[in-house]
């Protein structure tokens, strides 16, 4: 359902011109890429989860994270990401 939004005449004209793609960026290509990358990064919303695991597994993960020099939560997140991207498999 679309919200009813009040726009004055100037805002309506601006909205129409944006929808008709009448605006062209004058940013240098490199700067535009920087902003696009930043926007893409901001779309990666972080979610908090709870997970149950044995104390032994958690201690091993924490030890591996210390070896790598990263927080253990980051290590867990990285492992999940690699699995989702197909860069890691649980099959032997």
Domains of the chain by residue range: 49-92
Q: How distant, in Å, are the alpha carbons of 50, 66, 74 from that of 71?
A: 16, 7, 5
End-to-end Cα spacing for the chain: 49
- Specify whether the CB–CB gap between 88 and 82 falls below 8 A: yes
Predicted TM-score of the model (pTM): 0.51
pLDDT, position 71: 93
pLDDT, position 46: 78
Predicted confidence (pLDDT) per residue in 23-79, tens digit: 887 888 888 888 888 878 777 777 789 999 999 999 999 999 999 999 999 999 999
């Amino acid at each position: 359902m679309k919200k009813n939004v009040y726009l004055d005449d100037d805002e309506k004209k601006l909205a129409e011109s944006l929808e008709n793609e009448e605006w062209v960026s004058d940013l240098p290509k490199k700067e535009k890429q920087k902003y696009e990358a930043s926007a893409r990064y901001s779309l990666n919303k972080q979610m908090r989860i709870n997970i149950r695991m044995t104390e032994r597994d958690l201690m091993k993960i924490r030890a591996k994270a210390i070896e790598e020099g990263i927080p253990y939560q980051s290590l867990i997140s990285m492992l999940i990401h690699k699995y989702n991207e197909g860069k890691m498999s649980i099959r032997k």
